[in-house]
A and B are shown apart, each in its own frame.
Chain A
């Protein structure tokens, strides 16, 4: 068979950083001890799986999964004008975000293209935490820095000092509550896209440290993301794993993270998002507050990408053969689109994909063909997400 190391790999960042020296997560030793397989993601050696992609995927849908996503970039924005600055620098109206809340946002270029998608947390009136993709850390820091000119704000890239652990799945809250060294107030009251401050005390009775506990995630399940100092990450990881195992918690790698987010219809930079794509094409028009007087990309967003610009759709097929990123979407003999992500859905049991297609072929119910390495696989345009957790 073809060398599996070079087979198409949807979990790899599409713009691999020219990393001469691989970067390691503060949890690397934990992953090695758990027998993980590793993959390069934007220059970081990250766990791709511990046991089985499918078992890890199902654990998140039915119980809980533990993810190390410490490669993601944490960037603090500090200053009295931080809110006004982000209103100008990003697509959303972050000045209106309440302390204790989070918001999904985008950073655009002057042409209205997407530099990255972001989660923005409001820490205080004068401090925000911007979380960007690992592959876009430099681009986001550079764009934010370039936009600070007259705002009097400071940009502090805290990625190297910050670990990020996600606990995702219907049992995620129980896992946190069962971890004796971890304390967070009233997690059951914490709303989706809100955060609170928890504390973690190491096993040797070390001084307790603060943990930013956010009810956010990238799996389509309930769950939490925990931001903390790298020095304490391994102890928290082990404590969560020990407390969570009786509840079905499994460590999960990037392979399952990719199939989970795909089922949930969540975009991935380099696949559904990029600088040649305007938000409206990716179904993210609502994220851009065009009513703002000024923001980077406003003129281009108002002009729009053009009537013939391709739009993102969900595609569902029968059988087990999945279309992958880059494959053509056909209507008759005409190429009308391209797959951006695709897999056999572990939860649904049939192939699913996201694709950019010509607007004439984007209506749900439209029948198209996917060119899977020379074979035509019929597929139907379906609304996103493919999978939605029970309320």
Chain B
């Protein structure tokens, strides 16, 4: 069983979004982190980059596989988590906390999955 916090929103690409005002914090779910295994490399977009929902903006790589990071919404990157780039294992140990990846100033309120909808998606 993977943790799926009720206070977050999700995407079908196994990312989570915490919307506070017009800034969305984005990370990958515990389900995704567990499936990847030990994350050893993270590539994130630069601050100021404009991102479009569904576009590839980075990579999360483990010893055994590579996952692409999709922008879950439209907006502008206002912060990238450099601490995770230096210590990628944080994504495994704390995917919903210190393992966050991006903060994006959102242009419009996005349509995302609820925790229940995401839990159904991953069959838990």
Q: Does B60 contact A (CB under 8 A)?
A: yes
Q: Does A1 contact B (CB under 8 A)?
A: yes
A255 contacts B40, C-beta separation under 8 Å:
no
B65 contacts A8, C-beta separation under 8 Å:
yes
A255 contacts B63, C-beta separation under 8 Å:
yes
The total of chain A residues at the interface (CB under 8 A) is 28
User: CB within 8 Å of A: which of B75-95?
Assistant: 92
A346 and B63 in contact (CB under 8 A), knowing A4-B32, A4-B35, A52-B92? yes
Chain A residue at minimal CB-CB distance from B28: A1
User: CB within 8 Å of B: which of A324-361?
Assistant: 324, 343-344, 346
User: CB within 8 Å of A: which of B39-59?
Assistant: 40-41, 43, 59
Q: Does A380 contact B (CB under 8 A)?
A: no
A9 contacts B64, C-beta separation under 8 Å:
yes
A52 contacts B67, C-beta separation under 8 Å:
no
B64 contacts A11, C-beta separation under 8 Å:
yes
Chain B residue at minimal CB-CB distance from A10: B64
Give Cα distance in the complex from A226 to B38, angstroms: 29
CB B1 to nearest CB in A, in angstroms, measures: 11
A54 and B63 in contact (CB under 8 A), knowing A1-B14, A320-B41? yes
Q: Does A322 contact B (CB under 8 A)?
A: yes
A2 contacts B64, C-beta separation under 8 Å:
no
Give Cα distance in the complex from A53 to B33, angstroms: 12
A1 contacts B64, C-beta separation under 8 Å:
no
Chain B residue at minimal CB-CB distance from A349: B40
Q: Does A49 contact B (CB under 8 A)?
A: yes
CB B52 to nearest CB in A, in angstroms, measures: 16
CB B50 to nearest CB in A, in angstroms, measures: 19
Q: Does B68 contact A (CB under 8 A)?
A: yes
Q: Tell me which residues across on chain B come within 8 A of A9, comparing CB atoms.
A: 64-65
Q: Tell me which residues across on chain B come within 8 A of A321, comparing CB atoms.
A: 41, 43, 61
Give Cα distance in the complex from A48 to B69, angstroms: 23
A1 and B69 in contact (CB under 8 A), knowing A321-B41, A344-B40? yes
Chain A residue at minimal CB-CB distance from B37: A53
A3 and B36 in contact (CB under 8 A), knowing A53-B63, A322-B41? no
CB A374 to nearest CB in B, in angstroms, measures: 10
Give Cα distance in the complex from A258 to B69, angstroms: 25
Contact of B70 among A1, A258, A320, A373 (CB under 8 A): A1
B35 contacts A5, C-beta separation under 8 Å:
yes
A2 and B13 in contact (CB under 8 A), knowing A52-B38, A321-B41? yes
- Which of B's residues lie within 8 Å of A, judged by CB? 13-15, 28, 32, 34-38, 40-41, 43, 59-70, 92
Chain B residue at minimal CB-CB distance from A322: B61
Q: Does A7 contact B (CB under 8 A)?
A: yes
A2 and B41 in contact (CB under 8 A), knowing A53-B64, A54-B63? no
Give Cα distance in the complex from A16 to B14, angstroms: 26
A2 contacts B63, C-beta separation under 8 Å:
no
Q: Does A105 contact B (CB under 8 A)?
A: no
B40 contacts A7, C-beta separation under 8 Å:
no
Q: Chain A 118-149, CB within 8 Å of chain B: the 1/0 string?
A: 00000000000000000000000000000000
Contact of A4 among B36, B41, B59, B70 (CB under 8 A): B36
A8 contacts B66, C-beta separation under 8 Å:
yes
Q: Tell me which residues across on chain B come within 8 A of A62, comparing CB atoms.
A: none
Q: Tell me which residues across on chain A come within 8 A of B15, comparing CB atoms.
A: 1
Give Cα distance in the complex from A322 to B15, angstroms: 23
A4 and B14 in contact (CB under 8 A), knowing A49-B37, A54-B38, A344-B40? yes
Contact of A7 among B34, B36, B41, B63 (CB under 8 A): B36
Chain A residue at minimal CB-CB distance from B36: A4
CB B12 to nearest CB in A, in angstroms, measures: 9
Q: Tell me which residues across on chain B come within 8 A of A373, comparing CB atoms.
A: 59, 66
CB A259 to nearest CB in B, in angstroms, measures: 6
Give Cα distance in the complex from A8 to B75, angstroms: 29
Q: Tell me which residues across on chain A come within 8 A of B70, comparing CB atoms.
A: 1-2
Q: Tell me which residues across on chain A come within 8 A of B63, comparing CB atoms.
A: 53-54, 57, 255, 259, 343-344, 346
Known A-B contacts: A1-B14, A4-B35, A322-B41. Give 17 more (CB < 8 A). A1-B13, A4-B14, A4-B32, A8-B66, A10-B65, A11-B64, A37-B34, A48-B64, A53-B37, A53-B63, A54-B40, A54-B63, A259-B63, A320-B40, A321-B61, A322-B61, A344-B61
A1 contacts B65, C-beta separation under 8 Å:
no
